[in-house]
Amino acid sequence: MSVDFPPYMIAALTVAGSDSSGGAGVLADTKAFASVDVHGCAVLTSVTAQNTQTVRSIHPLPVSLIEEQFAAVLTDLDVKAAKTGMLYSGEIVSVVSSALKDKGFPIVVDPVLVSTVGEPLHSTGLVDSLKRELIPMADLLTPNIHEASALAGIAVENMEDVRKACSILRGLGSENVLVKGGHFGDDATDVLFDGSTYVEFRGHRFQGDMHGSGCAFSALIAANLARQMGMEESVRRAKRRISLGFQFGYEIGKGARVINSHHVVDRYSVWKDLFDAIESLKSLLPAENVPEVGMNFGYALPLAMDASEVCALRGRLIRVGDSVGSTGCPDFGASTHVARIILAAAEFNPLIRSAINLKYREETLHSCEAADLVVASFDRSKEPEGVSSMEWGTRQAMGDSGSVPDVIYDEGAKGKEPMIRLLGRNPADVLSKLKKII
């Protein structure tokens, strides 16, 4: 009997140190590779004794052993991209540069200088060696703000400094530079520079440090490049997945949380949570709260990009006599209307992933205020032509505060029924708010 083996899998190489707690270094890189269906292979540069609180010691491996690892991997595996992380010393940088020279695949250089907990991860001479030998070979250089300052020789304190650092660092020879904004600004904005154009990748700033986030981010970019994506698309997709990793980061020790770059998005659980909430809603909601146009209830995948990643009713919740019924089942991409509300709100807070619309009633608004829900509104008569009502209105309601209220309402306009929208983290959160006001 013949056996059908799995198809060929793309391989990407990480060149970095170990982390005995499993949160950063080569372990973080290979988990990130696997999360996007890329096989991870590794050349280990150093062994560390570290955890989520501290780095106890670092032992750089002998140069001859590093060379042997490169020979073993590159003479056998068809590597499609590589990334470098913690290299520790100038001597190791020289070995790595020599081994990767003229290999014909993209190289992402993550110039690791300090650990998440602030411990130095390099010896004297590393920075000069990186600038002289490895960065000129890079397709992409991915420093954070502190690393960009050290490499560029300037203090990076605002967005103008970020762009200046990008220009200086690209002058070192890297084809592209991505200065990561995780330690800078009101939001986590990364800036990509290709020598002529600056592209900003904005993201929500999550509170607290996340062990392994820098490693995983550069690894995800390398994996996407290995899959032959363009540079901008590789960064964009990696940004989304690393944001997801922050959202689902977890505690494994007593110090910093660990990035969950390998989190699996479960579409069925999103569908099932919404389905159960809709069934509960039918028996919970008085029929007088159903608007003339009907209701819809939506729940987005984590960090949804468009309506196809928002689950909603394919149909409506409608009034049937004195009760509420539905005319369809939940499905992804079923409603652009409620999806636009959720997607616009998620730009300000990605944890807000669910919304429902209700009939506009003054007593409902009074109940919202009595329940200490945050209420905001917008004037639909001022809506510009050619815009999405729900995207524009949601952004208007959030206004300068940039925060997402519990309730957004409008009093309608010509041919437009007034409406109340209730927002929350998930359908259960929306239902809990609904119970407070009915």
| pLDDT (average), residues 5-13 | 83
**In the block, residue with structure tokens 């008085």:** 286
- Asked if the structure places residue 15 within a domain, the reply is yes
Q: Which amino acid is at 61?
A: L
Q: Tell me, yes or no, whether 252 and 300 share the same domain.
A: no
Final residue belonging to a domain, choices 210, 231, 258:
258
Q: Tell me, yes or no, whether 201 and 318 share the same domain.
A: no
Per DSSP, helices labelled H in 302-375 are: 336-348, 362-370
Total Cβ atoms within 10 A of residue 438: 13
- In three-state secondary structure terms, 325 is strand
β 39-44/46-50 pair status = unpaired
- Asked if the structure places residue 81 within a domain, the reply is yes
Q: Tell me, yes or no, whether 304 and 390 share the same domain.
A: yes
CA gap 422, 375 in Å, rounded: 9
Total Cβ atoms within 10 A of residue 217: 30
Final residue belonging to a domain, choices 195, 224, 258:
258
**In the block, residue with structure tokens 């780095």:** 55
SS3 breakdown of the chain: % helix, strand, coil, rounded to 5? 40, 20, 40
Q: Tell me, yes or no, whether 93 and 233 share the same domain.
A: yes
E strand spans, 131-273: 140-141, 176-179, 190-193, 198-201, 210-211, 257-258
- In three-state secondary structure terms, 84 is strand
Q: Tell me, yes or no, whether 153 and 290 share the same domain.
A: no
Looking at the 3D structure of the chain, how many domains does it have?
2
Q: Tell me, yes or no, whether 239 and 381 share the same domain.
A: no
Position 372 pLDDT exceeds 80: yes
Domain hosting residue 92, numbered range:
11-258
What length is written for the chain?
438
| pLDDT (average), residues 207-233 | 92
- Asked if the structure places residue 4 within a domain, the reply is no
For residue 128, the model assigns a pLDDT of 93
Final residue belonging to a domain, choices 258, 286, 312:
258
> In terms of pLDDT, which residue wins out, 70 or 400?
70
Position 384 pLDDT exceeds 90: no
Q: Tell me, yes or no, whether 271 and 249 share the same domain.
A: no
CB–CB of 277/313 below 8 Å?
no
CB–CB of 188/181 below 8 Å?
yes
Any idea which of 71-75, 186-190, 267-271, 304-308 has the lowest mean pLDDT?
Answer: 186-190
Q: What are phi and psi of 231, to 5 degrees?
A: -65, -50
Q: Which amino acid is at 374?
A: V
Q: Tell me, yes or no, whether 243 and 382 share the same domain.
A: no
For residue 334, the model assigns a pLDDT of 93
Q: Tell me, yes or no, whether 250 and 283 share the same domain.
A: no
Q: What is the CATH number of the domain that holds 285?
A: 3.40.225.10
DSSP string, 121-169: ---TTHHHHIIIIIGGG-SEE---HHHHHHHHTS---SHHHHHHHHHHH
pLDDT tens-place string over residues 150-167: 999 999 988 999 999 999
Position 1 pLDDT exceeds 70: no
| pLDDT (average), residues 28-42 | 95
Q: Tell me, yes or no, whether 293 and 425 share the same domain.
A: yes
Q: What is the CATH number of the domain that holds 164?
A: 3.40.1190.20
Tokens for 17? 């140190």
